[in-house]
Amino acid sequence: MNTDLMNRYLDLTKRKRQVDEELRDLKQELDDLQYQIENEFIEAGVSSMRIDGSTIYIQRQFYASAPSDAVKTLQECGLDNCVSVGSQRLSALVREYIKEAIEKNPTLDTEGAMETFYKDYPGLTGQLKVGERVSVRVKG
């Protein structure tokens, strides 16, 4: 039997465990830094910064979903197109609505834009799960 193969496999397995542990630590440090960078950007009133040929920026993603029993409510609000396609179409509708509402009234934040959304579609109040993912990204 070729013990060289076994030894090589054993060495690689041990190395993989070490690299996995290093990766977990790296991901945790990145998560911690991301939170700090988000706060720095918010305090400075900026959404991106260019450093050493790379751009660090905040990316906001909005998503929405509706429980299956909200289908009738969506239809009653004239949002039939969000029923058959699912949460992606509904998320796109919410994202577009938030974007337009903030463009029309720059003093609005996401929460204020959603309040306006629910005024326009009162039947959906409490029916949608709307969330926001904020992350720091690097381009370049």
Residues 31, 91 within the same domain? no
Asked if 69 contacts 140 with a C-beta cutoff of 8 angstroms, the reply is no
Two tokens, residue 20: 């996995």
Give residue 22's domain range: 1-46
- Residue 39 inside a domain? The answer is yes
Supply the pTM of this predicted model.
Answer: 0.51
Number of separate domains in the chain = 2
Q: Please give the residue that has the higher pLDDT: either 118 or 66.
A: 118
- Residue 52 inside a domain? The answer is no
- Strand locations in 2-128 (E): 48-51, 54-65
Residues 76, 10 within the same domain? no
Residues 39, 75 within the same domain? no
pLDDT tens string 70-104: 667 777 777 776 665 556 777 888 888 888 888 89
Torsion of CA 40, 43, 49, 52, to 10 degrees: -40
Residues 23, 71 within the same domain? no
Whether the predicted pLDDT of 130 surpasses 70 = yes
Place of tokens 């720095």: 40
Whether the predicted pLDDT of 105 surpasses 70 = yes
The whole-chain average pLDDT of the chain stands at 82
Phi and psi of 62, rounded to 5°?
A: -105, 145
Q: What is the C-alpha separation between 48 and 136, in angstroms, rounded?
A: 9
Residues 63, 126 within the same domain? yes
Residues 112, 63 within the same domain? yes
- Residue 54 inside a domain? The answer is no
